[in-house]
Amino acid sequence: MATNFDELISGFCTLKQLDNGEELAAGAPLSVNGACCSLIYNKALAADVVFLYVEYAYAPLDRLAAIYKKLLRQNHLDFDGHGPGYCISPTNGKIVELTRLALSDLTPDRLAGTLVKHAARWQRWCDKNLPKSTI
In the predicted structure, residue 81 carries a pLDDT above the cut 70: no
Written in H, E and C, the secondary structure of the chain is CCCCHHHHHHHHHHHHCCCCHHHHHCCCCEEECCEEEEEEECCCCCCCEEEEEEECCCCCHHHHHHHHHHHHHHHHHHCCCCCCEEEECCCCCCEEEEEEEEHHHCCHHHHHHHHHHHHHHHHHHHHHHCCHHHC
Tens digit of each residue's pLDDT (9 = 90 or more) over 7-43: 999 999 999 999 999 999 999 999 999 999 999 999 9
Tens digit of each residue's pLDDT (9 = 90 or more) over 91-110: 999 999 999 999 999 999 99
Q: What residue spans define the domains of the chain?
A: 5-134
Look at the pTM and tell me if it is higher than 0.85: yes
Q: Going by CATH, does the domain composed of 5-134 fall within 3.30.1460.10?
A: yes
